[in-house]
C-alpha cells in the first residue's frame, strides 16, 4: 500500500502539530517540576527517555508500566542504600507521581494523534462515498502485486465491474438514490472480498476487484458479486424500490496478460464484451481464440 500523505498542510494537520507542541511543553514542565522537587537532578532526567518511548508506542499502559518500574527502582535504591528519611521518601513519591502524570498525559494525546492519523490516512486511500479503496490506491496495489507475482510466482485475477444503465437510473430516480445504490454496492463488495484482496471504486459506477488466484476463482467470485448486486435495492420516489444489474470482465495475470497495463486492458475488454452481449453477465479474457486477448463468455 502507498504511504499516506502527511497532513501537516491541512487544518487538521496543523491542529495535530499544535496539540503535540502543547503536550511536549506540558511534559517538560512536569519533568522540570519533578526534578526541582526531588532534588535528584542526576537521576530523574534519565527516566524521561523510556517514559516518552513507552507513551508514544504503548500509550497510557506503557507509561504506567515505566512509571511503576521507575518507582520500584527508587524503592530499591532507598532499601539497599542509606536509611531513607521521610523527606527522601516524599521526594521519590512526588517525583514518581509527577512522571506518571506526564506519561499518562502524553500517552493519551498520542493515542488521539494515532487515531487522527489513521483517519487521515484512510481518507487519502479510500473513496468517501463507497468506503472502498480509490483509484490511486488500486493502481499502486496492482503494481505491487504484479511485482510480487514476477518475483515469487502465483496468479492474480482482476475483475472489472460496471453497473448497467446507471445513468438512466440516476435520470429516473435522482442522484441521491444513485449514491445510495453506490454505497450499497461498496458494502457488498467489502463483505465478499477477502482481507488479502482489494476492492476499489475505479471511477463513476465502475469498480475493480483484484484477488490472488487464477481466473476460475475470479469467475466464481464475479458470479457471486453479480448476483449480490442484482439483489440490491434502494428506496426511490413514490415509495418504490429500484436496483440495477452489473456486467463483469475477468482477466488473469500472467495467464491472459504480460504486464499490469495489459491486465487492465484485457479485463476492460472483457467487461465491454459483457455489455455488448446483453449486460448482467461475466466474460473472461483469455489468450485462446482467434487472436491473443480474445474474450470467451463464461459458462
What are the residue numbers of the active site?
A: 205
Laid out side by side, the sheet with 282-285 consists of: 198-203, 206-212, 156-163, 246-253, 282-285, 295-297
Rounded to the nearest 5°, which phi and psi values hold at 240? -95, 170
Scan for cell 512536569, then name that residue. Answer: 30
Residue 195 is classified by DSSP as: T
Strand ranges, E, within the chain = 156-163, 198-203, 206-212, 234-236, 240-242, 246-253, 282-285, 295-297
How many residues would you count in the chain?
A: 299
With a CB cutoff of 8 Å and minimum separation 6, the contacts of 47 are: 66, 70, 99
- Alpha-carbon span 2 to 6, nearest angstrom: 12
Residue 160 is classified by DSSP as: E
Amino acid at each position: 500500500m502507498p504511504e499516506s500523505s502527511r497532513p501537516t498542510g491541512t487544518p487538521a494537520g496543523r491542529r495535530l502539530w499544535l496539540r503535540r507542541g502543547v503536550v511536549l511543553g506540558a511534559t517538560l514542565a512536569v519533568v522540570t517540576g519533578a526534578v526541582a522537587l526531588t532534588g535528584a537532578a542526576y537521576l530523574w532526567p534519565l527516566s524521561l527517555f523510556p517514559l516518552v518511548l513507552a507513551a508514544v508506542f504503548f500509550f497510557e499502559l506503557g507509561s504506567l508500566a515505566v512509571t511503576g518500574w521507575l518507582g520500584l527502582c527508587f524503592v530499591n535504591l532507598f532499601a539497599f542504600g542509606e536509611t531513607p528519611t521521610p523527606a527522601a521518601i516524599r521526594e521519590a513519591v512526588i517525583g514518581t507521581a509527577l512522571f506518571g502524570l506526564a506519561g499518562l498525559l502524553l500517552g493519551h494525546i498520542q493515542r488521539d494523534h494515532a487515531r487522527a492519523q489513521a483517519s487521515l490516512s484512510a481518507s487519502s486511500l479510500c473513496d468517501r462515498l463507497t468506503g472502498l479503496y480509490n483509484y490511486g490506491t488500486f493502481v499502486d496495489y496492482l503494481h505491487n502485486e504484479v511485482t510480487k507475482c514476477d518475483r515469487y510466482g502465483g496468479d492474480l485475477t482482476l475483475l472489472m465491474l460496471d453497473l448497467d444503465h446507471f445513468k438512466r437510473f440516476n435520470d429516473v430516480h435522482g442522484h441521491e438514490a444513485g449514491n445510495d445504490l453506490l454505497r450499497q454496492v461498496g458494502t457488498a463488495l467489502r463483505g465478499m472480498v477477502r482481507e488479502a484482496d482489494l476492492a476499489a471504486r475505479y471511477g463513476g459506477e465502475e469498480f475493480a476487484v483484484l484477488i490472488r488466484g487464477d481466473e476460475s476463482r475470479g469467475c466464481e467470485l464475479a458470479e457471486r458479486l453479480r448476483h449480490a448486486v442484482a439483489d440490491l435495492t434502494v428506496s426511490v420516489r413514490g415509495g418504490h424500490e429500484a436496483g440495477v444489474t452489473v456486467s463483469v470482465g475477468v482477466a488473469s495475470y500472467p495467464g491472459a496478460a504480460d504486464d499490469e497495463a495489459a491486465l487492465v486492458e484485457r479485463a476492460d475488454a472483457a467487461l465491454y464484451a459483457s455489455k455488448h452481449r446483453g449486460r448482467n453477465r461475466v466474460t473472461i479474457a483469455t489468450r485462446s481464440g482467434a487472436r491473443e486477448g480474445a474474450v470467451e463468455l463464461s459458462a
